[in-house]
Amino acid sequence: MNEIFMLRALELAMLGRGHVSPNPMVGCVLVYGEEGRQRIIGEGWHQRYGETHAERNAILSVRPEDTYLLPESTAYVTLEPCSHYGKQPPCADLLMEKKIGRVVCCNDDPNPLVAGQGFAKLRAAGIAVETGILAEKGRELNARFFTFFERKRPYILLKWAETADGFIAGEHGRQIKISGDLSNRLVHRWRSEEDAIMVGTNTARLDNPRLNIRLWPTPAGKNPTRIVIDNQLVLDQTISLFDGSQPTIVYHQNQAGKLPERDNVIYSFISPDAGPFLTHLVQDLHQRRIQSVLVEGGTTLLNSFMEADLWDEMRVFRSQTMLGEGRGRFADAIKAPIVRGNLISRQKVGEDELTIYKNSPGD
Ligand code: AOF
Ligand code: ZN
């Protein structure tokens, strides 16, 4: 067993980022021969939601004159081969049909449609299976997919930009330019990688955001679903979020509210008597099969996610600009949330500093 091949499979899997959700990113490398004189005879990855899986793409890439080598080859797959008929036929069956010699994986598939049955099928066919290789890397790669199935909620990323003196907005929430152009472009890239983007009522009203990916246009880039919380249904119907250009979900608690009919806008009621609002909201997102949410503010919403301990990752831009230290006419400026979690990375993005933190259960 050679970890270098699994690293290669992980690298291939990543090529699917932003294109395969709600499926996982999966890579597969087919390696022929004994330790010391191995060679790759096929490679593939899951490229697009609904299309062929990694294993099939790897098998398809093998040159016809090499296919006889498969029984003496190992398939390095980042995730347990599937055992069910979904949009694609089962990969476990394909590997059996091709008489692959051995299968090595990072992780078991948490999807209940598979969950161990892929490995069981392979073993029953006499194929040697090893799992748990570079398991942490595999889980990190598909953190959204694993969180969705294991915690029954989307992976939650909190993002904001703050001034050097710790403000997120001007007086009474007035929008101020904080992060630079490069950071803003990076945020649009992040949006293209997540299933949904969320803002609270004040941000929707004061900033009138479009929450699209206009600064990261890629042919395949999909605009995420927009989510806004409008508890009492007070938002003006002319704001950009209601322009029908992207699917938009409005969460509210106003039973008596009259819901406007709008293209591409769904209203979802959460009963004020139901218990913790955010817990219900993330459960509802789970039911809608949304695997990840980028929460873009404002402070109240970001803080509520932190207080409910419903978050997985924090991405914070700190600019070099100073707002004025909360004095004088800035006395009513809005303080940025306090960061918490484990420091993962810190880097420069243009003139800004980007710091990423992750939440780890129990700390
Ligand atoms: C694999 N290899 O490359 C992927 C797998 O609807 P389908 O047929 O595309 O199946 C989707 C499910 O299959 C997905 O939820 C996950 O459990 C598994 N994805 N499995 O063997 C792959 N993408
Ligand atoms: Zn499959």
Distance in Å, CA 57 to ligand 2 centroid: 10
- Where residue 334 falls among pLDDT bands split at 50, 70, 90? confident
Q: What is the residue range of 131's domain?
A: 2-147
Strands 102-107 and 73-79 come out as parallel
Same-domain pairing of 171 and 53: no
Residue where a domain terminates, one of 147, 168, 190:
147
Measured CA distances, 133 to 27, 171, 297 (Å): 14, 52, 38
Distance from C-alpha of 170 to C-alpha of 132, rounded to nearest angstrom: 49
Express each pLDDT in 19-33 by its tens digit. 898 899 999 999 999
Same-domain pairing of 139 and 160: no
Confidence (pLDDT) at 28: 98
As for how many domains the chain has, the answer is 2
Confidence (pLDDT) at 332: 77
- Where residue 223 falls among pLDDT bands split at 50, 70, 90? confident
Q: What share of the chain is helix, strand, coil (3-state, %, to 5)?
A: 30, 25, 45
Q: What is the DSSP letter of 120?
A: H
The H or E element containing residue 105 is strand 102-107
Same-domain pairing of 163 and 120: no
Distance in Å, CA 147 to ligand 1 centroid: 16
Q: Would residue 136 count as lying in a domain? A: yes
Same-domain pairing of 169 and 264: yes
pLDDT, mean over the chain: 92
Distance from C-alpha of 113 to C-alpha of 39, rounded to nearest angstrom: 33
Same-domain pairing of 16 and 134: yes
- 162 catalytic? Reply is no
pLDDT at 72 over 80: yes
Residue of minimum CA distance from atom 13 in ligand 1: 82
- Kindly report the CATH number assigned to the domain that includes residue 345: 3.40.430.10
Confidence (pLDDT) at 328: 57
Confidence (pLDDT) at 2: 78
Cβ of residue 82 lying under 6 Å from some atom of ligand 1: yes
Same-domain pairing of 201 and 344: yes
**Which residues is 345 bridged to in the sheet?**
356
Active-site residue, selected from the candidate residues 55, 162, 194, 313:
55
Same-domain pairing of 91 and 161: no
Cβ of residue 79 lying under 6 Å from some atom of ligand 1: yes
Q: Would residue 326 count as lying in a domain? A: yes
Distance from C-alpha of 286 to C-alpha of 2, rounded to nearest angstrom: 37
- Rounded to 5 degrees, φ, ψ at 277 are -60, -50
Q: Would residue 64 count as lying in a domain? A: yes
pLDDT at 327 over 80: no
CB 291 within 8 A of CB 155: yes
Distance in Å, CA 336 to ligand 2 centroid: 44
Same-domain pairing of 106 and 254: no
Longest Cα–Cα distance in the chain: 78
- Rounded to 5 degrees, φ, ψ at 46 are -75, 115
- Ligand with smallest separation from the Cα of 111: 1
Q: Please report, in angstroms and rounded to a whole number, the separation of the first and last CA atoms in the chain.
A: 35
Express each pLDDT in 271-286 by its tens digit. 999 889 999 999 999 9
Express each pLDDT in 111-128 by its tens digit. 999 999 999 999 999 999
- Ligand with smallest separation from the Cα of 85: 1
* Nearest one of 47, 78, 81 to 61, comparing CA atoms: 47
Confidence (pLDDT) at 225: 95
Same-domain pairing of 314 and 235: yes
Residue where a domain terminates, one of 92, 114, 147:
147
Mean pLDDT of 310-315: 97
Same-domain pairing of 167 and 119: no
Lowest mean pLDDT among 200-214, 243-257, 328-342, 345-359: 328-342
- Kindly report the CATH number assigned to the domain that includes residue 44: 3.40.140.10
pLDDT at 173 over 60: yes
Cβ of residue 81 lying under 6 Å from some atom of ligand 1: yes
Cβ of residue 162 lying under 6 Å from some atom of ligand 1: no
- Where residue 7 falls among pLDDT bands split at 50, 70, 90? very high
Mean pLDDT of 348-362: 89
Confidence (pLDDT) at 325: 57
Cβ of residue 127 lying under 6 Å from some atom of ligand 1: no
* Nearest one of 225, 1, 251 to 101, comparing CA atoms: 1
Q: pTM of the entire structure? A: 0.90
Amino acid (one-letter) located at 274: A
Residue where a domain terminates, one of 124, 147, 170:
147
Residue of minimum CA distance from atom 15 in ligand 1: 23
Express each pLDDT in 38-62 by its tens digit. 999 999 999 999 999 999 999 999 9
Residue indicated by tokens 């595999």: 138
The H or E element containing residue 44 is strand 39-45
Mean pLDDT of 99-110: 97
Mean pLDDT of 278-303: 95
Confidence (pLDDT) at 361: 57
pLDDT at 1 over 70: no
Same-domain pairing of 234 and 110: no
Separation of CA 318 from chain center: 23
Mean pLDDT of 74-91: 96
* Nearest one of 305, 322, 348 to 183, comparing CA atoms: 348
CB 268 within 8 A of CB 283: no
Cβ of residue 301 lying under 6 Å from some atom of ligand 1: no
Q: Would residue 363 count as lying in a domain? A: no
Confidence (pLDDT) at 363: 39
Same-domain pairing of 12 and 156: no
Tokens encoding 277: 């609002």
Distance in Å, CA 23 to ligand 1 centroid: 6
pLDDT at 94 over 90: yes
Confidence (pLDDT) at 219: 63
Tokens encoding 15: 């090529």
